């Protein structure tokens, strides 16, 4: 079983570094956010006219995804979960003006363990479960279990959207995707006028024992196997992908 406590995310300094620099090195981060918002408007916009949409942000970090959704719909009610106290405190600070938001410091492993013991702390059902760059820290079976957990916590007609790094189907493609990522970082650093270089990151990502990305196919199949419909990859650029599905009935 993967252990959050032993991962770099349990260290405050790693969390801080991500919050400060993610816009520089997360490939097309702005576009990923734009696609998330387009998805929300298209699939949940009508529902949002009738009542506040309930959102669950898994591995929320400092709440970046929830804050993006708030730009589209300031009436959402969000529950944010992260294993890192540092990250969650930042999310709390950034979102303090919104009433009724819930912040929970739990790892995904703890969520699954609690549920298996009948102590599920999330009594709610959600309309939209979102996650970004967090679930690839789980092993394959844990991912599938978490997808099942997400499915159970969605209302009928609710959606799951996951922004994630995925493993390429071949080593050759994986190497090229890392080159692509490095090229993008290089260009983005110039555009943003950044002095510090993050071009080492794609290689570091590959060698990091905390990362357990699975291929897109494995994850799309896992989503289908726990009952999701409309499962697809909605966007992909190298190893960065957006995929998810809908809960029917």
Contact set with ligand SAM (CB under 6 A) = 4, 9, 18, 22, 59-61, 64-65, 82-84, 87, 107-109, 132-134, 137
Q: Among all residues, whose Cβ is closest to ligand SAM?
A: 61
Which has the closest alpha carbon to 92: 103, 106, 108? Answer: 103
Which has the closest alpha carbon to 127: 160, 103, 100, 104? Answer: 160
Pick the closer one to ligand SAM by CB: 35 or 47. Answer: 35
Pick the closer one to ligand SAM by CB: 135 or 223. Answer: 135
Query: Dihedral, CA atoms, 70, 150, 104, 17, nearest 10 degrees?
Result: -70
Min CB(62)–ligand SAM separation in Å: 6
Min CB(226)–ligand SAM separation in Å: 18
Pick the closer one to ligand SAM by CB: 79 or 109. Answer: 109
Question: 169-207: buried (b, 16+ CB within 10 Å) or exposed (e) per residue?
Answer: eeeeebeebbebbbebbeebbeeeeeeeebeebbeebee
Pick the closer one to ligand SAM by CB: 143 or 247. Answer: 143
Min CB(112)–ligand SAM separation in Å: 10
Pick the closer one to ligand SAM by CB: 67 or 77. Answer: 67
Q: How many Å apart are CA 193 and CA 196, to the nearest integer?
A: 9
Q: Considering just the CA atoms, what is the radius of gyration of the chain in Å?
A: 17
Min CB(156)–ligand SAM separation in Å: 26
């Amino acid at each position: 079983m993967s252990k959050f406590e032993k991962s770099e995310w349990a260290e405050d300094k790693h969390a801080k570094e991500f919050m400060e620099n993610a816009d520089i090195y997360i490939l097309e981060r702005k576009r990923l956010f734009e696609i998330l918002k387009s998805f929300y408007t298209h699939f949940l916009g009508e529902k949002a006219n009738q009542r506040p949409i309930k959102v669950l942000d898994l591995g929320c970090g400092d709440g970046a995804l929830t804050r993006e959704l708030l730009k589209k719909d300031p009436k959402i009610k969000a529950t944010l979960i992260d294993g890192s106290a540092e990250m969650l405190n930042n999310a709390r600070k950034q979102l303090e003006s919104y009433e009724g938001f819930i912040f929970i410091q739990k790892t995904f492993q703890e969520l699954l363990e609690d549920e298996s013991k009948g102590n599920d702390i999330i009594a709610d059902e959600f309309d939209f479960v979102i996650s970004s760059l967090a679930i690839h820290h789980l092993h394959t079976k844990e991912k599938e279990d978490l997808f099942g957990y997400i499915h159970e916590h969605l209302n009928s007609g609710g959606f799951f959207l996951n922004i994630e790094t995925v493993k390429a189907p071949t080593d050759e493609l994986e190497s090229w995707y890392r080159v692509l990522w490095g090229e993008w970082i290089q260009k983005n650093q110039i555009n943003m006028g950044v002095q510090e270089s993050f071009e080492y990151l794609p290689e570091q990502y590959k060698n990091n024992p905390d990362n357990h990305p699975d291929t897109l196919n494995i994850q799309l199949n896992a989503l289908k196997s726990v009952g999701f419909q409309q499962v697809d990859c909605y966007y992909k650029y190298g190893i960065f992908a957006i995929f998810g599905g809908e809960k029917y009935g």
